[in-house]
């Protein structure tokens, strides 16, 4: 029987970052104690990012060197999916240009949904793409506001080129309620920190670790890396000490990322795989109403894995902001007066969205076989030689190299993150289209600057609670 396991990984962390000291400074008039915890920076989503868009970006990173066509199932885990009754996996599959026969599954309702979903997919033993994506939000001036972040991690599973194989795993389930969020509510309600740390992490996780080691036929001394996410400082060290672990405790990604909910344990696994060596063993913990413990062994195939951005690349690509109100606005924590220009309807014509999905979801241009002209959007005939569209070759643009042809910074049009940067994007394959440009730094953007495509929210229909997604361009940094 061929070996089965993780064959690739990918990650995404929003570019926007804010120093925790900036957050604490905004609240010092009523919560001066926050200052003591205000160390480092955290990531936060832009107005046009959510669990769906982050999942797409992490998946694209994980699919480096392979194709979505190689996988039979898409698993998505999130506790912050934008919809209660519309699977995020369907939107993600469309953006990835997945075949119609791809099976999909969505899970959530727990901070350990990421590890539980990964474990279920590994037990299924079939080629799959597993994604965990989360952007938790909390009340302003809470300690969680300092700790939270956002991000996504993705893993490809298969039997060819396995870089990490599962040696053993165990789960324990308990009704230990450290926090909860009622249906329809925006914010989590947390219980006391010491109770969670001492009665939750300290007592729930050692049992899962013990069972996983027994199933793998290993001792704790055989483990090289211990990865356990936690909102609370010292929780991972305390559990590692309790089980007598003496190896490397994986950093919690507090600086530059922050706690990313159900995506955090998978992000930590992805970060370890960036530097892990063959035969090293990783103990991964997921906590939430019980615990998951997964033990992986890295294989020689890790050395042949194509280079990807990964967690370290995303962290290095941060874009700092000194505006706490910007983050608050993006998280709908403050209602601003945007003027009459913001009063337009954002209703999406679902019929037209479906009819155009073949080229809009995956950002697919057409190349005329008669004259070679690349065009987007695709009309019924070639813009140059009028050959019928039936003669076009389909040409995805989302991974095509591109640069700025023209650009403008518009302060007059309504935009949730002014100014609105837009302009013509010139693709190396000949396509040219007018696009929005996002995550532009304080230095602006210039003609000839390199761009890459990112999947984002194009428009929010707040009246009906629907997001329309499309592709945007963003500067390629040297980080």
Render pLDDT for 399-414 as a digit per residue (tens, 0 to 9): 999 999 999 999 999 9
The CATH code of the domain that includes 414 is: 2.40.50
The 3 state secondary structure assigned to 345-357 is CCCCCHHHHHHCH
**Is the pLDDT confidence value at 203 over 60?**
yes
**In the predicted model, what is the mean pLDDT of residues 422-435?**
96
Q: Alpha carbon 92 to chain centroid distance?
A: 11
Examine residue 337 and state whether it is found in any structural domain, yes or no: no
Examine residue 335 and state whether it is found in any structural domain, yes or no: no
**CA-based nearest residue to 235, from 271, 194, 264:** 194
Same domain, 145 and 236: yes
Question: How many separate domains does the chain show?
Answer: 3
Neighbours of 31 (CB within 10 A): 15
Of all residues in the chain, the percent with pLDDT exceeding 90 is 88
Dihedral sign for Cα 346, 349, 354, 360, please.
negative
Residues 446, 391 contacting (CB under 8 angstroms): no
Cα distances (Å, whole numbers) of residue 144 to 141, 230, 260, 333: 8, 11, 11, 14
**In the predicted model, what is the mean pLDDT of residues 359-377?**
94
The 3 state secondary structure assigned to 90-109 is HHHHHHCCCCCCCEEEEECC
Residues 39, 157 contacting (CB under 8 angstroms): no
Examine residue 338 and state whether it is found in any structural domain, yes or no: no
Residues pairing with 421 in the sheet:
409, 437
**In the predicted model, what is the mean pLDDT of residues 221-231?**
96
Same domain, 384 and 279: no
Same domain, 9 and 67: yes
**Is the pLDDT confidence value at 194 over 90?**
no
- Burial group, residue 32, by CB count within 10 angstroms (0-12, 13-18, 19+): exposed
Q: What is the pLDDT of residue 407?
A: 96
The 3 state secondary structure assigned to 240-305 is HHHCCCCCEECCCCCCCCCECHHHHHHHHHHHHHCCCCCCCEEEEEEECCEEEEEEEEECHHHHHC
Same domain, 379 and 405: no
Please, what is the average pLDDT of the chain?
95
Q: Rounded distance, CA 197 to CA 199, Å?
A: 6
Q: What is the pLDDT of residue 478?
A: 61
**Is the pLDDT confidence value at 61 over 50?**
yes
Q: What is the pLDDT of residue 1?
A: 43
Q: What is the pLDDT of residue 199?
A: 86
Q: Dihedral angle at the C-alpha atoms of 470, 253, 20, 324, nearest 10 degrees?
A: 0
Same domain, 304 and 404: no
Q: Among 95-109, 113-127, 182-196, which is the least confidently predicted range?
A: 182-196
What confidence tier does 127 reach under pLDDT thresholds 50, 70, 90?
A: very high
**Is the pLDDT confidence value at 83 over 60?**
yes
Residues 76, 105 contacting (CB under 8 angstroms): yes
Q: What is the pLDDT of residue 87?
A: 96
Cα distances (Å, whole numbers) of residue 174 to 183, 204, 286, 375: 20, 8, 13, 56
Same domain, 377 and 262: no
**In the predicted model, what is the mean pLDDT of residues 174-179?**
89
**Is the pLDDT confidence value at 317 over 60?**
yes
Q: What is the pLDDT of residue 16?
A: 97
Same domain, 72 and 202: yes
**Is the pLDDT confidence value at 233 over 90?**
no
Residues 265, 250 contacting (CB under 8 angstroms): no
Examine residue 55 and state whether it is found in any structural domain, yes or no: yes
pLDDT digits (tens, 9 = 90+) for 432-472: 999 999 999 999 999 999 999 999 999 999 889 999 999 99
Same domain, 376 and 450: no
Examine residue 415 and state whether it is found in any structural domain, yes or no: yes
**Is the pLDDT confidence value at 396 over 90?**
yes
The CATH code of the domain that includes 204 is: 3.40.47.10
**CA-based nearest residue to 107, from 138, 73, 140:** 73
Q: What is the pLDDT of residue 344?
A: 84
**Is the pLDDT confidence value at 473 over 50?**
yes
**In the predicted model, what is the mean pLDDT of residues 190-195?**
88
CA-only gyration radius of the chain, Å: 23
**Is the pLDDT confidence value at 69 over 80?**
yes
**In the predicted model, what is the mean pLDDT of residues 246-271?**
96
Same domain, 228 and 80: yes
The half-sphere exposure of 326 on its side-chain side, counting CA atoms within 13 A, is 18
Q: What is the pLDDT of residue 342?
A: 87
Same domain, 387 and 424: no
Examine residue 275 and state whether it is found in any structural domain, yes or no: yes
**In the predicted model, what is the mean pLDDT of residues 205-221?**
96
Range of the domain at 379: 368-392
**In the predicted model, what is the mean pLDDT of residues 136-157?**
96
What confidence tier does 341 reach under pLDDT thresholds 50, 70, 90?
A: confident
Packing angle of the helix pair 113-124, 264-273 (nearest 10 deg): 60
Tokens 């643009």: give the residue. Answer: 397
Q: Rounded distance, CA 234 to CA 272, Å?
A: 19
Same domain, 206 and 181: yes
- Cis upstream peptide for 377 (omega within 30°): yes
pLDDT digits (tens, 9 = 90+) for 17-54: 999 999 999 999 999 999 998 999 999 999 999 999 99
Q: What is the pLDDT of residue 125?
A: 95
What confidence tier does 2 reach under pLDDT thresholds 50, 70, 90?
A: low
Q: Among 7-11, 294-298, 353-357, which is the least confidently predicted range?
A: 353-357
Residues 6 or more apart whose CB falls under 8 angstroms from that of 192 comprise none
Examine residue 22 and state whether it is found in any structural domain, yes or no: yes
Residues pairing with 272 in the sheet:
none
Same domain, 306 and 357: no
Examine residue 300 and state whether it is found in any structural domain, yes or no: yes
């Amino acid at each position: 029987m061929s070996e089965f396991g993780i064959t690739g990984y990918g990650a995404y962390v929003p570019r926007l970052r804010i120093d925790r000291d900036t957050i604490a400074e905004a609240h010092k008039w009523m919560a001066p104690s926050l200052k003591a915890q205000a160390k480092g920076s955290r990531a936060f989503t832009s107005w046009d990012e959510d669990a769906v868009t982050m999942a797409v970006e992490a998946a694209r990173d994980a699919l480096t060197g392979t194709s979505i066509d190689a996988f039979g199932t898409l698993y998505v885990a999130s506790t912050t999916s934008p919809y209660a009754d519309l699977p995020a996996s369907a939107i993600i599959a469309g953006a990835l240009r997945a075949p119609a026969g791809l099976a999909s599954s969505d899970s959530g309702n727990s901070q350990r949904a990421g590890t539980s979903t990964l474990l279920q997919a590994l037990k299924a033993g079939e080629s799959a793409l597993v994604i965990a994506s989360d952007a938790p939000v909390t009340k302003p001036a809470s300690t969680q506001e300092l700790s939270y972040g956002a991000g996504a991690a993705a893993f490809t599973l298969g039997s060819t080129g396995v870089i990490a194989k599962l040696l053993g795993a165990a789960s324990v389930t308990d009704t230990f309620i450290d926090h909860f969020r009622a249906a329809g509510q925006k914010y989590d309600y947390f219980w006391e920190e010491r109770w969670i740390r001492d009665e939750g992490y300290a007592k729930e996780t050692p049992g899962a670790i013990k069972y996983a080691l027994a199933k793998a036929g290993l001792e704790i001394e055989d483990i090289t890396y211990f990865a356990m996410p936690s909102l609370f400082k010292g929780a991972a060290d305390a559990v590692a000490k309790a089980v007598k672990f003496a190896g490397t405790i994986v950093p919690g990604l507090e600086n530059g990322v922050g706690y990313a909910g159900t995506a955090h344990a998978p992000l930590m696994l992805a970060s370890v795989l960036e530097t892990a060596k063959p035969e090293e063993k990783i103990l991964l913990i997921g906590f939430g109403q019980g615990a998951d413990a997964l033990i992986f062994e890295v294989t020689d195939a890790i050395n042949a894995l194509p280079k990807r951005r990964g967690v370290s690349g995303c962290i290095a690509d941060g874009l700092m902001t000194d505006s706490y109100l910007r983050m608050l606005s993006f998280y709908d924590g403050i209602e601003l007066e945007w003027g009459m220009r913001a009063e337009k309807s954002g209703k999406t014509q679902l019929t037209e969205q479906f009819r155009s999905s073949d080229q809009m979801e995956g950002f697919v241009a057409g190349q005329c076989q008669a004259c070679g002209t690349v065009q987007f959007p695709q009309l019924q005939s070639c813009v140059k030689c009028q050959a019928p569209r039936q003669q076009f070759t389909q040409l995805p643009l989302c991974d095509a190299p591109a640069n700025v042809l023209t650009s403008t910074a518009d302060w007059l049009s309504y935009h949730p993150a002014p100014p609105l940067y837009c302009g013509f994007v010139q693709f190396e394959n000949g396509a040219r289209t007018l696009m929005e440009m996002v995550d532009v730094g304080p230095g602006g953007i210039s003609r000839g600057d390199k761009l890459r495509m990112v999947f984002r929210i194009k428009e929010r229909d707040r009246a009906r609670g629907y997001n329309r997604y499309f592709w945007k361009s963003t500067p390629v940094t040297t980080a």
